[in-house]
């Protein structure tokens, strides 16, 4: 069946996550980061969210907009399985899907009206900055939380890795958190504790240095025998890639 009405974004999500590498793999894993859902015309009207503030959480339906041109496959290799085993695309939350649609439940903190815009202040999101939002729905605990549900390969929360900071970075973070980036240290810890590296590298010695972009900052880090060590925090460099060197 072909849909006749073209689907358009009702909002754009603004988050600290500026690149796909390092984004939490599921919602709810990094609660320190705040973001905003900016409603777009003609939906940018306070009446469209009347009553929404009575809910603590909301569902966001969105598009994996940076993956659409790459198409999809019938099977994918979930990171949970180490990247070695395949499952059907509909048995996973792969970002490479036939229609490129994702859904996340996020915490709703406030609804703002400012500068002619309606914005939803959220946290615990797993969305790339600039993600188009297709729809917004309230989270209803009695029906959306299913007691005794079985989560397949993702039944348990991910195992976290220890994250440490060198002394120079700790000094930077104190200043940056006060000046411009609230909860920056906690956000970095939450993102890196999930070990964003490709699954095939996690069981091996890995001397490489990596980079994750948060806000307009590059977070540089590497893995040693005790976990992840953050080496530096610096303004984003346009030619930076996932591996810093």
Q: For the segment 52-70, what is each residue's pLDDT rounded down to a tens digit?
A: 999 999 999 999 998 778 8
Q: How confident is the model at residue 242 (pLDDT cuts 50, 70, 90)?
A: very low
Q: For position 199, what pLDDT does the model report?
A: 73
Q: Which residue has the higher pLDDT, 221 or 242?
A: 221
Q: 11-64+100-141 and 163-235: same fold?
A: no
Whole-number CA gyration radius for the chain: 19
Domain 11-64+100-141: assigned CATH number: 2.40.30.70
**Residue 9, pLDDT above cutoff 80:** yes
Q: For position 167, what pLDDT does the model report?
A: 93
Looking at the domain covering 163-235, what would its CATH class be?
Answer: alpha beta
Q: For position 3, what pLDDT does the model report?
A: 57
CA 89-90-92 angle, 5° bins: 70
Helix axes 167-179 and 184-192, enclosed angle (nearest 10): 120
The mean pLDDT value for 107-135 works out to 96
> Which residue, among 238, 201, 199, has the nearest Cα to 222 in the 3D structure?
201
Give residue for tokens 């709810």. Answer: 28
Residues making up the chain, counted from first to last = 245
What confidence tens digit (pLDDT) does each residue in 211-225 have?
999 999 999 999 988
230: exposed, middle or buried (C-beta count within 10 Å: 0-12, 13-18, 19+)? buried
What confidence tens digit (pLDDT) does each residue in 139-178 have?
999 999 999 989 888 777 778 899 999 999 998 998 887 7
Domain boundaries of the chain, sorted by first residue: 11-64+100-141, 163-235
User: In angstroms, rounded to a whole number, what is the distance separating the alpha carbons of residues 158 and 151?
Assistant: 13
C-beta of residue 119 within 8 angstroms of C-beta of residue 37: yes
């Amino acid at each position: 069946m072909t849909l006749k009405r073209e689907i358009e974004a009702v909002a754009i999500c603004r988050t600290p996550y500026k690149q796909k590498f390092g984004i939490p793999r599921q919602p709810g894993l990094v609660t320190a980061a705040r973001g905003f859902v900016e409603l777009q015309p003609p939906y940018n009207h306070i009446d469209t969210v009347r009553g929404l503030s009575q809910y603590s959480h909301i569902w966001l339906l969105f598009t994996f907009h940076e993956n659409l041109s790459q198409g999809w496959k019938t099977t994918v290799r979930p990171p949970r399985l180490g990247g070695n085993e395949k499952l059907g695309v509909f048995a996973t939350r792969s970002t490479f899907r036939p229609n490129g649609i994702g859904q996340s439940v996020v915490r709703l903190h406030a609804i703002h009206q400012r500068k002619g815009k309606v914005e939803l202040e959220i946290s615990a999101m797993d969305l790339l900055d600039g993600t188009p939002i297709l729809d917004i729905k309230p989270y209803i605990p009695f029906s959306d939380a299913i007691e005794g549900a079985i989560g397949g390969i993702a039944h348990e929360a991910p195992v976290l890795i220890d994250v440490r900071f060198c002394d120079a970075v700790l000094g930077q973070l104190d200043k940056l958190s006060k000046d411009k980036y609230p909860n920056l240290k906690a956000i970095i810890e939450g993102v890196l504790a999930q070990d964003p590296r490709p699954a095939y590298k996690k069981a091996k010695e890995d001397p490489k240095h990596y980079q994750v972009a948060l806000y307009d900052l590059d977070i540089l880090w590497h893995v040693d025998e005790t976990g992840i060590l953050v080496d530096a925090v610096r303004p984003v460099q346009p030619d930076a890639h996932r591996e810093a060197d």
